[in-house]
Amino acid sequence: MTKNTKKPWQGRFSGETDKFVESFTSSIAFDNRLYEYDIQGSVAHSKMLNSIGILSDIELKEILTALEKVKEKIESGKVSWRDSLEDIHMHIEHELIEMIGDTAKKIHTGRSRNDQVATDIRLYVRNEIINVHENIVVLQKTLIKLAEKYSKSIIPGFTHLQVAQPVTFGFIMMAWFFMLERDKSRFIDSYKRVNISPLGAGALSGSSHKLDREYVAKLLDFDGITSNSLDSVSDRDFIIEFISNSSLLMSHLSRFSEEIIIWASTMYNFVDLDDKVCTGSSIMPQKKNPDVLELIRGKTGTVYGQLMNILTIMKAQPFAYNRDNQEDKPALFNCVDTVMISVQAMNICLENLKLNEKVAKFSAKKGYSTATDFADYLVKKEIPFRDAHEIVGKVVAHAVSKKQDLDELSIEDFKSVSSVIEEDIFDFLNIEGSVRSKKTSGGTSYEEVNKQIEKAKNIIKEYEKN
């Protein structure tokens, strides 16, 4: 990256740029990934310049053909990136000038790198919104499969990491599905704010050429144009939004990871993770570690870090464009890369997850998990809930002292605390009975979980239609 090249902004300068400064200010090492979007933007801008008479038909043709060639040259690795040409915008313009000379020099008419880069990132982000969305859908489909496979398998539901009430594994998978559904909807909602064209804003105040901004927007498939040029070149809130949405998604993935890690631990042993997704220890021969899930949990920190990064980059910048903004790209790219691989990694883990149904069911019985059902039973016998709570508390204490589960107590044990209790109590104390007894929509009963699965399937079907 040492060869010096004439810079487009050289005119005002008589001295050469310091080599260290050149490399310090250069962004080509990372923004070269925007080349395709930069070329798309240049194609649209050139067509528009032609439509308003700034480029002739012949010049336009020449430029378009050259842009195509630049693209091929970049893709075949034949363009050498140099710090002296700063960024992807200047590299592409330079290549163009090398190829077709003076005609290429007209392409930047009415355009600044400030609106150019804003356009490139908007094109990039909108594409990544679709990508992340597609990745989430794959993960959601895996959750549906697991929910169907284990729709009747019982596992303890926890609060405070203490056994709370029995639930089905399908119920938990559906909880995760709907969390991801909200993540998806946040990304999709942000799309309309991203998909607006800033091109034509110029450096900050617009252009004295009568640029047809609407036409450019149409060519680039934007939904419209930004309303204020100053805002167009200085705003990066759509990146903040993307990273923020990614952070929420990662927080969900991190919680799923944590849950599975706990389930997979020797003491719980609710699930088996396939060898495919585990690694071993270099010293302890017996170890099979859930490293993939731990890394997803760890990478959540990376994405949160990028959120802080971009928020801080934007804080207190004077209007309009400042070079600080160049730092938006490492933050954004790192976020995109981390999120995509994390969603995919979670999918591989879930695809290879096996529930140890017996262990999970056995554990669901522990910790007096049907005590609430017992209290509800008493309420149905017209005992006020607070009194029922008290009675059940006493029975639990009694069972604890006898080291027995609730359903191991005798009918006499029950009757000694309340005479309304009859033999049918045992239907309420077993965990299947508890799951079945849930009547509310959204609950864990088999019926309700099936409804949730149906709803989830319809969501995916709708998505796949479009």
- Identity of the residue, 325 or 342, whose beta carbon is nearer to ligand ARG in the bound complex: 325
Using CB under 6 A as the binding rule, the residues of this chain from 19 to 48 that contact ligand ARG are: 27, 31
- Residues numbered 276-335 forming contacts with ligand ARG, rule: CB under 6 A: 321, 323, 325-326
Distance CA 239, CA 373 (A): 48
Shortest Cβ 236–ligand ARG spacing (Å): 10
The C-alpha atoms of residue 230 and residue 202 are separated, in whole angstroms, by 9
Beta strands in 249-407 (DSSP E): 271-273, 353-355
CB of 32 to ligand ARG, least distance (A): 11
- Which one is catalytic: 160, 208, 227, 410? 160
Q: Count residues contacting ligand ARG (CB under 6 A)?
A: 10
Instruction: Give the pairing of strands 353-355 and 271-273.
Output: antiparallel
Nearest Cα residue to 133 out of 189, 172, 194, 193: 189
Pick between residue 85 and residue 307 the one whose CB is nearest to ligand ARG. 85
> What span, in angstroms and rounded, lies between the C-alpha atoms of 136 and 132?
6
Vertex 338: Cα angle to 234 and 341 (nearest 5): 135
Annotated catalytic residue, options 56, 185, 265, 281: 281
* CA-closest candidate to residue 360, choices 248, 250, 269: 269
**What is the rounded radius of gyration, in angstroms, for the C-alpha atoms of the chain?**
31
Closest approach of Cβ 38 to ligand ARG, in Å?
10
Site for ligand ARG in 383-402 (CB under 6 A): none
The yes or no reply on residue 84 touching ligand ARG (CB under 6 A) is no
Least distance in Å: CB of 149 to ligand ARG? 48
Question: C-beta of 213: minimal distance to ligand ARG in Å?
Answer: 19
Residue 160 among the catalytic residues: yes
Residue from 38, 62, 87, 241 touching ligand ARG (CB under 6 A): that is 87
Nearer to ligand ARG, 36 or 427 (CB): 36
Measured distance CA(343)–CA(346) in Å, rounded: 5
Region 100-119 residues binding ligand ARG, contact defined as CB under 6 A? 113-114, 117
Instruction: Write the DSSP symbol of residue 284.
Output: -
156: three-class secondary structure by DSSP: strand
Instruction: Decide if 94 is catalytic.
Output: no
Residue 114 or 306: the one with the smaller Cβ distance to ligand ARG is: 114
Q: Count CB atoms within 10 A of the CB of residue 415.
A: 13
Can you tell me the distance from the alpha carbon of 464 to that of 384, in angstroms, rounded to the nearest whole number?
Answer: 50
Site for ligand ARG in 112-171 (CB under 6 A): 113-114, 117
Catalog residues that contact ligand ARG under the rule CB under 6 A: 27, 31, 87, 113-114, 117, 321, 323, 325-326
Report, as residue numbers or ranges, the catalytic residues.
160, 281
